[in-house]
Chains A and B, each alone.
Chain A
Amino acid sequence: CTKNFERYNSDNTGLTDDQLSGDFNNLSYLKSAQRSIYNFSGGGDPNSYQVQQNLNADCFSGYFMSPTVFNGGQNNLNYFMVTGWNGEAFKVGYLNVMAQVAKLRSTGLETNFPAIWAIAQITQVEAMSRVTDIYGPIPYSKAGQSKTDIAYDSQEEIYKRFFLELDSASNNLRSFIASGQKIPVDSTKYDAVYGGNLTQWLHFANSLRLRLAIHILYADAAMAKEQGQKALDPANGGVITTNSDNFQLLTSDAGLTNPLVFISQNWGDIRINAAIQSYMTGYKDPRISRYMNTSTDATVGAVYKGIRIGGVTASNQKSDYQGYSQLSTSTFNINAPVVLMTAAEVYFLRAEAALNGWSNTGGDAKTLYETGITTSMLQWNASSGAYLTDNTSVPAAYTDPKNSANNLPSPSTITIQWNDAASTEEKQERIITQKWIAMFPEGQEAWTEFRRTRYPRLFPVKNNLSGGLINTDIQIRRLPYPQQEYNTNGAQLQNGISLLGGADNGGTRLWWDKKP
Chain B
Amino acid sequence: KTYSQSVTLKASHISLYEVFNNISRQTGYEFVYDAQLVKRTAPVNIDVKQATIADVLKNCLSGNPTLTYTIVDKTIVISARALPKASHGAPAATITGKVVDAQGAALIGVAVQVKGTTRGILTNDQGEFSIQANAGDILVFSYLGYDAQSVTVGEATSLTITLQQSNKQLDAVVVTALGVKRTEKSITYATQQVGGEELTKAKDANLINTLNGKVAGLSISTSSSGVGGSAKVILRGSKSGLGSNQALYVIDGVPMNNTVTNQPSSIYGGSNSYDGGDPISNLNPDDIESVSFLKGASAAALYGSQGANGVIIITTKSGRSGKTAVNLSSGFMLSSVAMKPKFQNEYGAVGTNSQSWGDKFSGGGHDNLDDFFRTGYNWTNSISLSGGNEKMQTYFSYANTSANSIEPTNKLGRNNINFKETGHFLNDKLTAIADVNYVTQEIDNTPLAGNYFNPLTGLYLFPRGGNLKQYKDQFELPDPSRNYLNVQNWPFDEDIQQNPWWILHRNTNSLTRNRFLGNASLKYDVSSWLNITARGSIDRVADKYEQKIYAGTLKVLAPSTGVYNMNDQTSTQQYGDLLANFNVPISKDFKLTGVLGASLLDTKIDGYKLGSTGADSLRYPNIFTVQNMTAIDPSSSGNLPENHVQTQSVFASANLSFKDWLFLDLTGRQDWSSALAYTQNNHYFYPSAGLNVILSQLLKLPQAITFGKVRGSYAVVGNAPLAYQSHAAENTLTSGGIRVNTSAPFDNLKPEKTKSLEVGTEWRFFDSRLDVDVTYYKTNTTNQTMQISASQASFYDNYFINAGNIQNQGIEATVKFDVIRSKAFSWNTAFNFSTNNNKIISLSPQVDRFTISGASGANYASYFKKGGSYGDIYGVGLAKDAQGRIQFDTSGTPQLTSGDMIKIGNSNTKWQLGWNNNLSFKNFNLSFLIDGKFGGDVLSITQSLMDSYGVTPATASARDAGGVKVNGVNIVTGEAVTMANAQKWYSTIGGRQGASSQYMYSATTVRLREAAFGYTVPIEHSFVKALKVAATGRNLLYFYKKAPFDPEMTMSTGNGLSGIDVFMLPSTRSYGLSVNATF
Task: Give A253 to B737 CA distance when docked, in angstroms.
Answer: 10
B790 contacts across to A, CB distance below 8 A: 147-148, 488
- From A96-104, A371-379, A405-413, give the one contacting chain B: A96-104
Among the listed A35, A42, A319, A467, which residue makes an inter-chain contact with B971, where contact means beta carbons less than 8 Å apart?
Answer: A467
Tell me whether A13 and B675 are in contact in the complex, defined as CB-CB below 8 angstroms, given that A95-B792, A257-B614 are known contacts. Answer: no
Q: A150 contacts the other chain (Cβ, under 8 Å)?
A: yes
- Check if B87 is an interface residue, CB within 8 A of chain A: no
* Residues of chain B within 8 A of A317, CB atoms compared: 352-354, 492-494
**B738 engages A465 (CB within 8 Å):** no
Q: Is A111 an interface residue (CB 8 A)?
A: no
A299-314 with Cβ < 8 A to chain B: 314
**B796 sits at the interface (CB 8 A):** yes
B734 at interface by CB-CB < 8 Å: yes
Interface contact A43-B789, CB-CB below 8 Å: no
Whole-angstrom CA separation of A102 from B793 in the bound complex: 12
Encoded as 1 (CB less than 8 Å from any A CB) or 0, chain B from 421 to 438 comes to: 000000000000000000
Q: Let me know if A266 is at the binding interface, CB within 8 A.
A: yes
Known: A138-B793, A317-B493. A103 touches B735 (CB 8 A): no
Q: Does B184 contact A (CB under 8 A)?
A: no
Contact for B674 among A9, A71, A267, CB less than 8 A: A9
Query: Complex Cα distance A142/B795, Å?
Result: 11
Tell yes or no: A436 within 8 A of B by CB. no
The reply on B640 being an interface residue by CB < 8 A is yes
**Which residue on chain A has the smallest CB distance to residue B792?**
A94
Which of the listed residues B614, B724, B727, B744 has the most CB atoms from chain A within 10 Å of its own CB?
A: B614
Which residue on B lies nearest to A493, using beta carbons? B791
Contact across chains for B791 and A150 when beta carbons are under 8 A apart: yes
Is B642 among interface residues, defined by CB-CB distance under 8 A?
A: yes
Asked if A1 meets B648 with Cβ closer than 8 Å, knowing A44-B633, A255-B614, A322-B493, the reply is yes
B795-A91 in contact (CB<8A): no
Which of chain A's residues have a CB closer than 8 A to the CB of B642? Answer: 8, 11-12
What sequence of 0s and 1s flags, for each residue 844-877 of chain B, a beta carbon within 8 Å of any chain A beta carbon?
0011110100011110000000000000000000
Decide: B794 and A255 in contact? CB cutoff 8 A: no
B797 within 8 A of partner (CB): yes
Among the interface residues B677, B792, B794, B858, which one has the most CB atoms of the partner chain A within 10 A?
B792
CA distance A318 to B494 in the complex (A): 7
Within 8 A of A (CB), among B323-354: 350, 352-354
Place the interface of chain A in its size category. 35 or more
B286 to chain A, nearest CB (A): 38
Contact (Cβ within 8 A) A14 B732? yes
B978 in the interface, Cβ–Cβ < 8 Å? no
Interface string of B612-642 (1 = CB under 8 A from A): 0111110000000000000111111011111
Determine whether the beta carbon of B730 is less than 8 Å from that of A84.
no
Give, as a whole number of angstroms, the nearest-CB distance from A288 to chain B: 26
Contact B735 A43 (CB under 8 A): yes
Decide if B992 touches A9 in the complex (CB within 8 Å).
no
Q: Shortest beta-carbon distance, B792 to chain A, in Å?
A: 4
B893 close to A (CB within 8 Å): yes
Report yes or no: A8 in contact with B644, Cβ–Cβ below 8 A.
yes
Stretch in A178-186, A274-282, A479-487 touching the partner: A479-487
Task: Answer yes or no: A388 CB below 8 A from chain B CBs.
Answer: no
Q: Is A143 an interface residue (CB 8 A)?
A: yes
B647 to chain A, nearest CB (A): 10
Identify the interface centre among B732, B735, B788, B993: most chain A CB within 10 Å of its CB: B735
Give bound CA distance, A203 to B971, whole Å.
Answer: 53
CA distance in complex: A6, B889 (Å): 60
Instruction: Please determine whether A256 and B494 come into contact, CB atoms closer than 8 angstroms.
Output: no
Which chain A residues (363-412) contact chain B, with CB distance < 8 Å? none
**A43-B633, A255-B634 in contact; A8/B791 too (CB < 8 A)?**
no
Q: Hey, which chain A residues are within 8 Å of B794, CB to CB?
A: 94, 143-148, 150
Asked if B49 is at the interface of the complex by the 8 Å CB criterion, the answer is no
Interface string of A58-91 (1 = CB under 8 A from B): 0000000000110111100000001111010011
Residue of B nearest to A487 (CB): B789
Q: A333 to B556, alpha carbons, bound, how many Å?
A: 18
Task: State how many angstroms separate the Cβ of A119 from the closest Cβ of chain B.
Answer: 15
Contacts of B357 in A (CB 8 A): 315
What's the least CB distance linking B239 to chain A, in Å? Answer: 23
| Cβ-defined contact, B735 with A2, below 8 A | no
Scan residues 794-819 of chain B and give those whose CB is less than 8 A from a CB of chain A.
794-797, 799
Q: Which residues of B contact A1 (CB under 8 A)?
A: 648
A99 to B736, CA, bound (A): 15
Q: Within the assembled complex, what's the spacing in Å between the Cα atoms of A144 and B893?
A: 42
Contact with B along A259-298 (1 / 0, CB 8 A): 0001001111100000000000000000000000000000
Asked whether any CB of chain B lies closer than 8 Å to the CB of A45, the reply is yes
Q: In the bound complex, how far is the Cα of B561 from the Cα of A392, in angstroms?
A: 48
Instruction: Contact check, A148 vs B791: say whether CB atoms are below 8 A apart.
Output: yes
**B737 to chain A: closest residue by CB:** A32
Chain B nearest Cβ from A252, distance in angstroms: 12
**Contact, CB under 8 Å: B645 / A266:** no
From B632, B724, B857, B889, A84 is in contact (CB under 8 Å) with: B857
Contact A32 B677 (CB under 8 A): no
- Of the candidate stretches A23-31, A218-226, A341-349, the one touching chain B is A23-31
Residue B292 CB within 8 A of the other chain: no
Chain B min CB distance to A94 (Å): 4
**Which of A42, A147, A262 has a CB less than 8 Å from the CB of B735?**
A42
Rounded to whole Å, the gap between the CB of A317 and the closest CB of chain B is 5
In contact, B849 and A468 (Cβ under 8 angstroms): no
Is A41 close to B, CB under 8 A? yes
Q: Are the CB atoms of A9 and B731 closer together than 8 Å?
A: no
B633→A139 contact, CB < 8 A: no
- Tell me if A147 and B744 are in contact (CB < 8 A): yes
Docked Cα-Cα span, A76 to B848, in Å, equals: 29
Contact with B along A420-463 (1 / 0, CB 8 A): 00000000000000000000000000000000000000000000
The answer to whether B736 and A36 touch across the interface, beta carbons within 8 angstroms, is: yes
Question: What's the least CB distance linking B497 to chain A, in Å?
Answer: 11
> Which of A14, A36, A145, A254 is the most central at the interface, judged by chain B CB atoms within 10 Å of its CB?
A14
B272 CB–A CB distance under 8 Å:
no
Within 8 Å of chain B (Cβ to Cβ): is A330?
no
Q: Does B948 contact A (CB under 8 A)?
A: yes
Q: How far is the CB of B854 from chain A (nearest CB, A)?
A: 9
Q: Is A112 an interface residue (CB 8 A)?
A: no
Q: Are the C-beta atoms of B795 and A255 separated by less than 8 Å?
A: no
0/1 per residue, B347-387, Cβ < 8 Å to A? 00010111101000000000000000000000000000000
Given contacts A32-B736, A103-B740, A315-B350, contact A13 B640 (CB under 8 A): yes
Q: Kindly provide the distance from the CB of B451 to the nearest chain A CB, expressed in whole angstroms.
A: 12
Establish whether residues A11 and B793, one from each chain, have CB atoms under 8 Å apart when the complex forms: no
In chain A, residues 127-147, which have Cβ atoms closer than 8 Å to a Cβ of chain B? 138-139, 142-147
Are B353 and A13 in touch, CB under 8 angstroms? no
Q: A12-B642, A84-B856 are in contact. Are A29 and B740 (CB under 8 A)?
A: yes
When chains A and B are docked, how far (Å) is the Cα of A150 from the Cα of B846?
A: 13
Contact partner of A486 (CB less than 8 A), chosen from B354, B742, B851, B899, is B899
B15 within 8 A of partner (CB)? no
Question: What are 27 A-B pairs with beta-carbon distances under 8 A?
Answer: A2-B677, A2-B682, A5-B676, A5-B682, A10-B729, A11-B728, A11-B729, A12-B639, A12-B641, A13-B640, A13-B732, A26-B738, A29-B737, A29-B740, A35-B737, A41-B735, A74-B991, A95-B796, A100-B740, A147-B796, A148-B846, A150-B793, A255-B735, A266-B615, A268-B556, A317-B493, A487-B789
Give the 6 A-B residue pairs with the shortest CB-CB distance, closest first.
Answer: A14-B729, A41-B736, A44-B614, A84-B856, A255-B735, A43-B735
Given contacts A14-B732, A95-B742, 17 further A-B contacts (CB under 8 A): A5-B676, A13-B733, A44-B631, A72-B990, A72-B993, A73-B987, A84-B857, A84-B858, A96-B739, A143-B793, A144-B793, A150-B794, A255-B631, A255-B735, A319-B492, A485-B793, A487-B900
**B residues touching A (Cβ–Cβ < 8 Å)?**
350, 352-355, 357, 492-495, 555-556, 559-560, 613-617, 631-636, 638-642, 644-646, 648, 672-678, 682, 723-724, 726-742, 744, 788-797, 799, 846-849, 851, 855-858, 889, 893, 895, 899-900, 948, 971-972, 987-988, 990-994
